[in-house]
Amino acid sequence: MVRREPFTIRYNEATVQHLLSIEQKYHNLIRSFIIEQLTFDPDVETRNRKPLRQPAPFDATWELRCGPNNRFRVLYGIDFDQHEVQIHAIGTKIGNRLVVGKLEIKI
């Protein structure tokens, strides 16, 4: 069996502020889902992981959906040279809007 090298997960400084707009009881859920889904094969499309159409907010290339009713969105990019996943934004999907911190994006 070939052992895969895990990706390093790096958070943008702004993601701390993004999390403050989300109820604290969901922080561990979001963090554990990020680790579970993005440590290996972050570039494989799944039911909860989709590539984003460009141009996308925060220069992200991928979206991870998680939480109750998939209401949380993690926007991220992948740096294959550095073998890392870069988390650009974490927000809440409300209808056809994405709320990231104090910013509201219509999608």
The CATH number of the domain where 20 resides is what?
A: 3.30.2310.20
**Residue 72 belongs to a domain:** yes
**Residue 63 belongs to a domain:** yes
**Residue 89 belongs to a domain:** yes
Q: What are phi and psi of 14, to 5 degrees?
A: -70, -20
Q: How many domains does the chain have?
A: 1
**Residue 2 belongs to a domain:** no
SS3 80: coil
**Residue 34 belongs to a domain:** yes
**Residue 98 belongs to a domain:** yes
| Alpha carbon of residue 73 to chain centroid | 6
59 vs 56: CA distance, rounded Å: 6
Q: What is the pLDDT of residue 70?
A: 95
Percent of the chain with pLDDT over 90: 79
pLDDT in tens, the chain (107 residues): 666 799 999 999 999 899 999 999 999 999 999 999 999 999 999 999 999 988 888 999 999 999 999 999 999 999 999 999 999 999 999 998 999 988 888 87
**Residue 19 belongs to a domain:** yes
**Residue 3 belongs to a domain:** no
